[in-house]
Amino acid sequence: MKYSTLLFAVTATALVAPEQVTILDEQQPAVSDVIQAWWDSTLSRSTKLFTSLEKRITDSIRSFDASSYGFDSDDHPHPPRRGHGGHHRGDKTKTIYELIKSNQYTTQFASLLDNDDFSEIKKLLDSTEHNKTLFVPTDKAFERIPHHGDKPPPKEFVLALLKYHISPGLHTAHDLITSHTLPSNLSLDTLGSHPQRLRISTGLLFTIRVNIISKIVYSNIEAKNGIIHAIDHVLVPPPSQEKIISLLPTTFSTFSLGLEKTELSVPDHKGGTLFAPTNSAWRRLGPRANAFLFSPRGLKYLKALLKYHFVVDQTLYSDAFYGEKKDEQGVEGGKYWHVDLATLLDDKAIAVDVKRWRGWVTIVLNGFTKVIFQDGIASDGVVQVIGKILIPPHEHHGGHGAEDDDKDIDVEDLKARLERYVEKGNEAGDL
Ligand SMILES: *[C@@H]1O[C@H](CO)[C@@H](O)[C@H](O)[C@H]1NC(C)=O
Ligand SMILES: *[C@@H]1O[C@H](CO)[C@@H](O)[C@H](O)[C@H]1NC(C)=O
């Protein structure tokens, strides 16, 4: 069975009636494909969820671009202060499972746990062997799942979704305010054996959101084996980097166009870091450079330039790194951290500096380019959004000189810096 025939719809009842799932007789698609199919299906039919997702991302990028720090944004981490503290709720004589089971606002999640197909999740949430944190969607959250069609999602999808709501260890709301990403209990082949992560952000009035749209509506419910936070939207495991880019044309249409025109194909990878330039980043290069890069003559240079934005097999989040740490330099307490990440451009590396100050993290590339939207979680890695195009430095200058912000780049300079990486065998004009 082709995976496209698996395009299914999710409804609240479908999620709670998974016994109707058709068992596939032929080869099972990878869980990551099933998740991708969910996004394809949902986004092509329901725009409401997507509009709010896109709005949050573009607002955040815009406010960062404006302030260059983004401290006022509703989607940037704030340093720890009061809020979400004090009151302890819950019942430390009961397990997470028992608390969910007896709570009148979490009946949908509880009924999933009581389904035989998902008994491993019930066991996990009932076991006192390890502490864990559960982000439990309220019954209202289940109602918000886009409603279309009535085919229930495959069991694998629901299982992955449940795992994605659990994070190992205890994370109180206070801890979350200074967190950027957290590992979940879900691991997929697309990220190697590493756990899929959850993006945490704190906004005004200490609103904490998980993966951009799921807001914590009730926090710090303590259990014998961990802690529970209630959320207002279900956490669906993320789509691929490529999908994320194609879904956000307001931000990435120029980048997408470049990928399409150059037919750049990203090799199979287990995780990866995509430094994705916004449309404003392209504009900042100036009209001449854009006209050149997107002309038939310039496409091979454009391809080289695009390759310089892709790192495969190494995934750099603002507070975690899945990859080889051979170039790593750290400083005690994790306040400063450096790594060189080889790109698809002949392994030419990008120098990454991660600086931590209280709850804030800045990621700076090649000494001057800041990541303006951090930790766009993808099934196959992470999307770090940048407001400037990364250009390989001049060979003979060594190091990474500062770029002049306000000046358009000279086309000859751009060509000189990319010349040695341009694919040979194509005469100018051939493309
Ligand atoms: C879980 O957390 C509690 C409270 O911090 C601690 O007392 C207990 O030892 C932890 N249990 C395990 C299994 O780590
Ligand atoms: C999920 O939790 C179980 C039980 O704690 C653990 O054995 C497993 O390794 C976890 N998986 C991931 C990907 O964290």
**Which string of DSSP letters, residue by residue, matches 221-253?**
EEETTEEEEEESS--PPP--HHHHHHH-HHHHH
Kindly tell me the sign of the dihedral angle through the C-alpha atoms of 413, 419, 421, 425. positive
CB atoms under 10 Å from CB of 430, counted, come to 10
How large is the average pLDDT for residues 150-163? 86
Higher pLDDT: 77 or 184? It is 184
Q: What domains can be seen in the chain, in order of their start residue?
A: 5-231 (2.30.180.10), 241-430 (2.30.180.10)
pTM for this prediction: 0.85
pLDDT tens digits along 53-74? 778 777 777 766 554 433 333 4
- pLDDT value of position 101: 95
How large is the average pLDDT for residues 128-145? 93
pLDDT tier for residue 404 given thresholds of 50, 70 and 90: low
Q: Does any ligand 1 atom lie closer than 6 A to the CB of residue 342?
A: no
The CA distance from 209 to 115, in Å, is: 28
Output the CA 132–ligand 1 centroid distance in Å: 10
Q: Does any ligand 1 atom lie closer than 6 A to the CB of residue 130?
A: yes
H/E segment holding residue 260: helix 249-262
Output the CA 85–ligand 1 centroid distance in Å: 19
Q: What is the dihedral of CA 70, 73, 77, 81, to 10 degrees?
A: 110
pLDDT tier for residue 205 given thresholds of 50, 70 and 90: confident
Using a pLDDT cut of 90, give the percent of the chain over it. 58
Higher pLDDT: 424 or 275? It is 275
What average pLDDT is seen over the chain?
82
- pLDDT value of position 47: 67
Ligand nearest to the CA of 130: 1
Specify the residue for token string 């028992």: 98
Q: Does any ligand 1 atom lie closer than 6 A to the CB of residue 283?
A: no
**Phi first, then psi: what are they for 408, rounded to 5°?**
-65, 150
Pocket test for ligand 2, best of 185, 193, 198 (most atoms within 8 A of CB): 185
pLDDT tens digits along 77-89? 433 344 454 455 8
The CA distance from 275 to 366, in Å, is: 12
- pLDDT value of position 423: 77
Contact 125, 97 (CB under 8 A): yes
Q: Does any ligand 2 atom lie closer than 6 A to the CB of residue 207?
A: no
Measure Cα distances from 214 to 22, 105, 134, 207, 229 in Å. Answer: 29, 16, 13, 10, 11
Q: Does any ligand 1 atom lie closer than 6 A to the CB of residue 127?
A: no
Whether 214 has a pLDDT exceeding 70, the answer reads yes
Pocket test for ligand 1, best of 93, 94, 131, 134 (most atoms within 8 A of CB): 131
